[in-house]
Structure 1
Amino acid sequence: MSAEALPLVLVHSQLLTAELWRAVRPAFETRGPVHCADVTRDETIGGMAERLLADAPERFDLVALGMGGFIAFAALREAPERIRHLVLTSTLPEADSDAQTRRRAGYSAMVERGEFDAVAEERIPLLLGREARDGDIAAAVREMARAVGPEAFLRQQSAIMARPDSTPMLAGIVQPTLVLRGEEDGIMSDAHLEILSGTIPNARGFVVPHSGHLIPLERPEAFADAVITWLDRKDRV
């Protein structure tokens, strides 16, 4: 590990596993140790953040995607001094709207009817850009969803629906923050990118072309390059 680098903690979203990071992890490991957070065992976003902090090194850089961003905000509320640099990918600061809550409740009802596999199929157009919706990348999403399983997914849905609005804390985030959005993301909008990158004081926003929500899976080289360049900037520590 270089003198400037800290261990890197990766935290992914619902219905995903550490396989999300497989293509980018070798590049990250050239800098130093890499840890993946466990997001399957806890009933709340706060509980997931507590587990992340308990398992993480004393001080680290944090890369979060989707639900992982909600966990990152909770970790920042709990122990901001432990996190040096932050990368927020494909995430939102606010709590769910009524429409989002209804959609998540619909997913839970599908699972309870024994239609868990159909949840992943319904979400693929939201998660992946046009080029990735057929073939190996979509197959990888289905495989990760099956590995998470219905019970953990229901816990994740419940935790997401109960999360607090993190918008009021954005102006107080002191960590240098990179905000990434896939050009074809069906969940994170340009407005979300502008809110995050415009409200966090030391933040930069960037749109990754030809990608949906799952940038590390769809555009791993672009993702790794953007993250490493941000973390290793020499004009700050």
Structure 2
Amino acid sequence: MNQPAIVKPCHEKTFQQGNIYCQYDSDEITSFLPDMLNSEYWQEKNAIVGSAQGRGTTWFIASKNADNVERHWVLRHYYRGGLIGKVIHDQYLFTGYKNTRAAREFALLTSMRALGLPAPKPIAFRVMRQGLFYRADLLSSRIDNAQDLVGMLSKAPIRGSLWQEIGKVIKSFHQRGIYHHDLNAHNILVDDANKVWLIDFDQGEQRAKQNQWPEENMARLLRSFRKEQQRVTNFQWAEKNWQALLNGYQS
């Protein structure tokens, strides 16, 4: 398997004011404002070009920098899942800025990009502390001209060689100890050049490679395909596709 190219990590800067703590990539944002982590900031600039619904709304942003270069970003607010999420929605216990969901995901994305792995580039995060709790937001790069596997398979089947490539890409993350907390068919993207990407690394982490978590990660992904097959009309997936993915993973 080809090894990912090593790329230069981002230049991180810190912003802190009152109960607000932020980090951002100064190569991407030269004049940082915490409001850049608000969807209203971009709506006022007519820079919102789309959205997606999950636990909350994910906003897609297109904005030109000082050099008139258009940047495509994704803005996401952190929401809780499960029963507790129905009660407190988006608040988390504060145990230090480095332990927040946003800081951990930003750091993991930075590490993965430095390894050349196909994951979004971290742009900025914001943590707003309120007493014992905090709320958080993350701004990252958007993978242009890409669809997730659920969207692709709801339209047409994909060829075996692409299934194998998906397996190879997942293996490249696992070989470097990257655990994806929610590896599912929605979080695997394929762009128009057939490059495979993984997204949404909330609660992901780097782990020791000698235990069973890669097998558990793959089992979660298989359950995801089977679930979507029951949920989505004309979902173009079969068990043989999983074997093709495994062939790529094991090659």
Q: TM-score, normalised by structure 1?
A: 0.30
Q: TM-score, normalised by structure 2?
A: 0.28
Higher relative contact order structure (alpha carbons within 8 Å, sequence separation ≥ 6): 1
Larger relative strand fraction: 2
Larger relative helix fraction: 1
